[in-house]
């Protein structure tokens, strides 16, 4: 199994929660990723491409596995910070 996902990574939980509220209010995920994310994927609107088991940190992978395609996670904490994840594919 492989998954495709995009994410927004920030250092503060409070900021992640604010961004999530904006997404739920209809703000475009890609635009918020470009504005706020600290990950190099921000230049691609947060797109991380395809990845398989063991390629991402455990909390991130577990969140992606649970998500239905097209859905957005809550705030997910990892050693890199706080992620908001959108699952964009599964194969």
* CATH at residue 16: 3.10.50.40
pTM over 0.85: yes
| Structural domain harbouring 53 | 3-90
Total structural domains within the chain: 1
pLDDT of 36: 98
Give residue-wise pLDDT tens across range 46-74: 999 999 999 999 999 999 999 999 999 99
Mean pLDDT of 84-90: 98
Over residues 17-43, the pLDDT tens digits come to: 999 999 999 999 999 999 999 999 999
Contact partners, residue 29, CB within 8 Å, separation at least 6: 6, 8, 23, 45, 46, 72, 86
User: What pLDDT is recorded for position 83?
Assistant: 98
For residue 15, give both structure tokens. 């900021």
């Amino acid at each position: 199994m492989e998954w495709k996902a995009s994410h927004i990574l920030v250092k503060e939980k409070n900021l992640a929660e604010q961004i999530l509220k904006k997404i739920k209010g209809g703000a475009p995920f890609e635009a918020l990723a470009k504005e706020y994310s600290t990950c190099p994927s921000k230049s691609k609107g947060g797109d991380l491409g395809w990845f398989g088991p063991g390629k991402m940190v455990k909390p991130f992978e577990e969140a992606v596995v649970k998500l239905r395609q097209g859905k957005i996670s809550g705030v997910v904490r990892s050693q890199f910070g706080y992620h908001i994840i959108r699952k964009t594919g599964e194969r």
